[in-house]
Amino acid sequence: MSKVKQYIETSVENAVDKIISKLSDGQIDLDTCKSKILELDNLEMVGITEDNVEEVIDMELETA
């Protein structure tokens, strides 16, 4: 894997984690969380789509 691809994937994952942590802290609601995640660039590199964003959020909240 190229360093650029790895950097982009890590950046997207970190951005998603920050948004989900705001949801778990009660700073934002689920709809806001979903929309903020879907606004991020390069989501396709980490496999997040409009169809599975709720599943990703649920999985992250379960592991937190």
Residues composing the chain: 64
pTM: 0.91
Q: Cβ contacts of residue 25 below 8 Å, gap of 6+?
A: none
Q: Decide if 18 contacts 11 (C-beta within 8 A).
A: no
In tens, the pLDDT along 17-30 reads: 999 999 999 999 99
Q: Decide if 34 contacts 53 (C-beta within 8 A).
A: yes
Two structure tokens written together for 5? 């691809």
Residue for token pair 């396709």: 44
**How confident is the chain (64 residues) per 10-residue block, as mean pLDDT?**
91 97 96 98 95 96 85
